[in-house]
């Protein structure tokens, strides 16, 4: 909850001043989110709907069921950047897409699925994800 409020505060600050303090965004995600390792059950099939956990922990399994297209959200990109799994050179573009994703897509959509559909239809965002080398699973 605190992280959500802090993200909203940074988006509002940007909308009021048209300026972004990228270091503040990076500090927020370093403090607020960590990439944790999952303890997976000893099951023949694993069901996945979280991109970061898929990339970090689950991709090595053979029997996976993926729920819908699996693509990082801009928040996932910031998590990967803040944990050192993705280069800091993607920080500015990731932050700009968090602002668009939360400030436009999520706020203006009926639900998170609709917001995600807007995101995966955003050609600029798809190009950004592709430039990172991260997989997009459809």
Residue-range definition of the domain harbouring residue 108: 2-34+72-132
Residue 65 placed within a domain:
no
Nearest to 102 by CA among 129, 78, 70, 132: 78
Residue 19 placed within a domain:
yes
Q: Per residue of the chain (138 residues), what is the pLDDT tens digit?
A: 788 889 999 999 999 999 999 999 988 888 755 545 555 556 555 455 566 665 655 556 666 666 667 789 999 999 899 988 899 999 999 999 999 999 999 999 999 889 989 999 999 999 999 999 988 877
Residue 39 placed within a domain:
no
- What pTM does this model have? 0.77
How many domains does the chain contain in total? 1
DSSP element (H, E) containing 2: helix 2-17
Residue 10 placed within a domain:
yes
Alpha carbon 52 to its chain centroid, in Å, reads 8
Residue 11 placed within a domain:
yes
Three-state DSSP state, 48: strand
Residue 57 placed within a domain:
no
Residue 42 placed within a domain:
no
């Amino acid at each position: 909850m605190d992280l959500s409020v802090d993200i909203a505060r940074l988006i509002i600050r940007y909308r009021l001043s048209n300026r972004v303090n990228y270091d503040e965004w990076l500090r927020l995600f370093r403090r607020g989110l960590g990439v944790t390792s999952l303890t997976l059950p000893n099951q023949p099939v694993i069901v996945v709907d979280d991109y970061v956990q898929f990339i970090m922990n689950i991709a090595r399994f053979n029997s996976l069921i993926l729920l819908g297209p699996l693509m990082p959200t801009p928040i996932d990109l910031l998590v990967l950047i803040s944990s050192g799994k993705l280069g800091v050179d993607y920080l500015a573009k990731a932050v700009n897409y968090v602002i668009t994703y939360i400030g436009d897509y999520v706020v203006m959509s009926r639900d998170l699925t609709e917001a995600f559909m807007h995101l995966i239809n955003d050609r600029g965002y798809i190009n950004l994800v592709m430039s990172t080398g991260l997989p997009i699973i459809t």
